Amino acid sequence: MSAGRPTPNPWGDRPLERTDILDREQVGELLGLRPSTIDDLRRRGELRAIRLGRHRRFLRADVEEYVVANRS
C-alpha cells in the first residue's frame, strides 16, 4: 500500500476476521462504558455502526477511530 492512499478496507489489507466486528457489550467493555452509553453514542452519530440483519455491530477500526478523535 502506498503512503497517503487510504486502504479500501478499514481493517487493512488482511481478510476480515471475527475479532474485527464487535457487539455493543464488547465495545462497552473495551471502552469501559455501559452498553446503553454505546447505544447513545451510536444514535447521536458519534460512533458508527453497521447493521447485520436485526443487529447492530461495530467495526473495531471505527471504535479505534472514535477513541483517537476524542482524546484530549
pLDDT confidence of residue 47: 96
Strands (E), 1-72: 21-22, 50-52, 55-59
Secondary structure of residue 47 in the 3-state scheme? coil
DSSP assignment, residue 71? Answer: -
User: 6 or 26: whose pLDDT is higher?
Assistant: 26
Q: Kindly tell me if the per-residue pLDDT of 12 is higher than 80.
A: no
- The stretch 39-63 carries a mean pLDDT of 95
Q: Which residue bears the cell 471502552? A: 31
Given CA atoms 12, 13, 14, 17 in this order, what sign does their dihedral have? positive
